[in-house]
Chains A and B, each alone.
Chain A
């Protein structure tokens, strides 16, 4: 009997030691750029689902793409003394005050998907932008048979991710002499811009073979313009992010490629990286997310499950 009791006690102590991660409920903050952009809506769901699995609480602040509001939101999280902050910064420089505030309060602040220039950025869960740009170009060159004009509707200049994507794309494309880049514009990431730029591109270069778009919204806009011009046959349109409407469009054949950087996985990975950090893991400055090229053949597979 005594031995049995001792054994129970030992198991109990062991269990207590093994439990702190579960026993200690963490509260983390999530500062999103917007609560209407599907990318962030799904990212938020990813964060919330993973946090729930760990028994954590998530407090969300959003900013309608207003960088001042995002800084304010992070300060509200700091005031609540959360255990850690996940942020997808609207601007690499302008969010500096937010990172500084978190740092001063000894709260780790980890950027997801978009990075900041602040020296107080704890970690950056990033995508390997240059490599993704190269992969898109390689796929497009192969699909086009190494011939044809290329137009680029890149994301906003000044945003590192989009600069690097475009840079990787151009590096890779430069290897194909038969595929000159005839059009390159840096615009805001909206469907309207994609539509408008593609319309102009189609007027200036009716024989364009590949349209590279900085993200899926731009690509969806471009696809609309191409369809309206009656040119779907023969124009390859590439996007980025793998948002559900883009995956549907690729499956249907309006768009031709998107890169699945599922915001769901971004969100989950962000929480896991934060969990590691809070446990004392100290990885290098950047943690890369895996990316997958989605084409007509496999796009449907990456559609997220419907929300209950």
Chain B
């Protein structure tokens, strides 16, 4: 890393280009769509894009932590459904704030258990989180009996207002990830704890020898990931005005793809939070623009898959050239 920077210091311009492949990809998608559809840059649509990205952005923050720490988490999609239904259920019985807290807490519990199993028992993260993905979805279906949780009178109005309301013209649901991004960006990139995550993911043994409690650091990354998936689930419940037991399928894959698109390495130890957010918006803008351009839904899948591969490949080629 340092050598790369040293070599490239003489050519800051090209270094910038190499570093910012994901950003350039995002700009390219935006520019192309803006040329082809005059509606793309309309305020309504820009607001749409932010709103469509906000849930995935929160999930991706957590996923970035886990991936930098050298693992990944397949259970976030199920956790989103768990948090949404738990929060809807609890708030119908008590108060909306308790419901929201319970939803987030349920996500934290799932994340913490994932972390314990991966870090302490040393079970492979793929197997661990694949297992918890299925278990959690099962629990969701059990507690909801497979039905959406709506309540006779609907969810509390204050809570629904969170999904609908705006502050300075921007949805409250968009402000939340911005705040979380600031807090977790600081935690990951500017604190000693963040450095320990990078160190653990980059080289577990070296980190251990350096005196880092690698088990604890790994477990904590999963706990954050679960907690944030919990937050995302509560946000989605507010947007969907109900606790939906079937939401969140394949969200884990979108989140992982977004983080990797943002340049994080699946081998761990490398990544930047803001780039993960760019990755999220590549996925969101792509889906939005294919709809605006009226591309047939079957072709949409082909296009999205190809863009994921192309962006990741561009990133690889760039790092090989350095």
A residues adjacent to B (C-beta < 8 A): 35, 59-62, 65-68, 71-73, 75-81, 91, 93-94, 96-97, 100, 105, 156-158, 186-188
- Between A and B, 11 residue pairs with Cβ closer than 8 Å are A35-B298, A59-B291, A60-B296, A71-B240, A72-B52, A76-B291, A78-B48, A79-B292, A80-B39, A91-B244, A94-B240
Q: A94-B242, A156-B146 are in contact. Are A79 and B236 (CB under 8 A)?
A: no
User: Could you tell me which residues of chain B, from 240 to 297, have a CB within 8 Å of some CB in chain A?
Assistant: 240-242, 244, 246-247, 249-250, 287-288, 291-292, 294, 296-297
Q: Are A157 and B287 in contact (CB under 8 A)?
A: no
Complex partner residue of B242 from A93, A157, A187, CB under 8 angstroms: A93
Cα A93 to Cα B42 in complex, Å, equals 28
Q: How far is the CB of A200 from chain B (nearest CB, A)?
A: 16
Chain A residues near B97 (CB-CB < 8 A): none
Q: Are A75 and B48 in contact (CB under 8 A)?
A: yes
Complex partner residue of B150 from A67, A79, A93, CB under 8 angstroms: A93
Cα A78 to Cα B146 in complex, Å, equals 31
List the count of A-B residue pairs having beta carbons below 8 Å apart. 87
Q: Please encode chain B, from 141 to 158, with 1 for each CB lying within 8 Å of some chain A CB and 0 for all others.
A: 000011110100010000
- Which of B39, B150, B241 neighbours the largest number of chain A CB atoms within 10 Å of its CB? B241
User: Could you tell me which residues of chain B, from 201 to 246, have a CB within 8 Å of some CB in chain A?
Assistant: 236, 239-242, 244, 246
Q: Are B247 and A93 in contact (CB under 8 A)?
A: no
Q: Are B145 and A60 in contact (CB under 8 A)?
A: no
Chain B residues near A62 (CB-CB < 8 A): 297
Which 9 residue pairs spanning A and B have beta carbons closest together? A94-B240, A79-B45, A76-B291, A158-B147, A62-B297, A35-B297, A75-B48, A72-B52, A93-B242
Q: Are A93 and B148 in contact (CB under 8 A)?
A: yes
Chain B residues near A157 (CB-CB < 8 A): 145-147
Cα A188 to Cα B154 in complex, Å, equals 23
Q: A60-B297, A66-B247, A97-B239 are in contact. Are A79 and B39 (CB under 8 A)?
A: yes
Q: How far is the CB of B109 from chain A (nearest CB, A)?
A: 23
Cα A158 to Cα B242 in complex, Å, equals 12
Q: Are B44 and A91 in contact (CB under 8 A)?
A: no
Q: How far is the CB of A80 from chain B (nearest CB, A)?
A: 5
Q: Are A73 and B291 in contact (CB under 8 A)?
A: yes
Cα A253 to Cα B268 in complex, Å, equals 58
Chain B residues near A73 (CB-CB < 8 A): 291
Q: Are A97 and B44 in contact (CB under 8 A)?
A: no
Complex partner residue of A72 from B249, B250, B287, CB under 8 angstroms: B287
Q: Are A97 and B146 in contact (CB under 8 A)?
A: no
Cα A93 to Cα B242 in complex, Å, equals 7
- Identify the closest chain A residue to B37 (Cβ): A80
Q: How far is the CB of B146 from chain A (nearest CB, A)?
A: 7
Cα A177 to Cα B202 in complex, Å, equals 72
Q: A96-B241, A157-B146 are in contact. Are A72 and B154 (CB under 8 A)?
A: no
B residues adjacent to A (C-beta < 8 A): 37, 39, 42, 44-45, 48, 51-52, 55, 145-148, 150, 154, 163-164, 236, 239-242, 244, 246-247, 249-250, 287-288, 291-292, 294, 296-298
Cα A223 to Cα B116 in complex, Å, equals 46
- Identify the closest chain A residue to B236 (Cβ): A68
Chain A residues near B298 (CB-CB < 8 A): 35
Chain B residues near A67 (CB-CB < 8 A): 240, 244, 246-247
Q: Are B291 and A61 in contact (CB under 8 A)?
A: yes
Q: Are A80 and B154 in contact (CB under 8 A)?
A: no
Q: How far is the CB of B196 from chain A (nearest CB, A)?
A: 35
Q: Are A97 and B163 in contact (CB under 8 A)?
A: yes
Q: How far is the CB of A67 from chain B (nearest CB, A)?
A: 6
Q: Are B241 and A97 in contact (CB under 8 A)?
A: yes
Q: Are B288 and A76 in contact (CB under 8 A)?
A: yes
- Identify the closest chain A residue to B289 (Cβ): A76
Q: Are B42 and A79 in contact (CB under 8 A)?
A: yes
Q: How far is the CB of B143 from chain A (nearest CB, A)?
A: 14
Cα A81 to Cα B37 in complex, Å, equals 12
Q: How far is the CB of B35 from chain A (nearest CB, A)?
A: 16
Cα A91 to Cα B144 in complex, Å, equals 15
Cα A40 to Cα B110 in complex, Å, equals 36
Cα A100 to Cα B44 in complex, Å, equals 14
Q: How far is the CB of A120 from chain B (nearest CB, A)?
A: 13
Chain B residues near A80 (CB-CB < 8 A): 37, 39, 292
Chain A residues near B44 (CB-CB < 8 A): 78-79, 105
Q: How far is the CB of A68 from chain B (nearest CB, A)?
A: 6
Q: How far is the CB of A237 from chain B (nearest CB, A)?
A: 23
Q: Are B48 and A61 in contact (CB under 8 A)?
A: no
Chain A residues near B39 (CB-CB < 8 A): 79-81
Q: How far is the CB of B194 from chain A (nearest CB, A)?
A: 31
Q: A68-B55, A79-B44, A79-B45 are in contact. Are A93 and B163 (CB under 8 A)?
A: no
Q: How far is the CB of A160 from chain B (nearest CB, A)?
A: 12
- Identify the closest chain B residue to A118 (Cβ): B241
Cα A61 to Cα B37 in complex, Å, equals 16
- Which of B37, B250, B294 neighbours the largest number of chain A CB atoms within 10 Å of its CB? B294
Chain A residues near B239 (CB-CB < 8 A): 68, 71, 97
Q: A65-B246, A94-B241 are in contact. Are A76 and B292 (CB under 8 A)?
A: yes
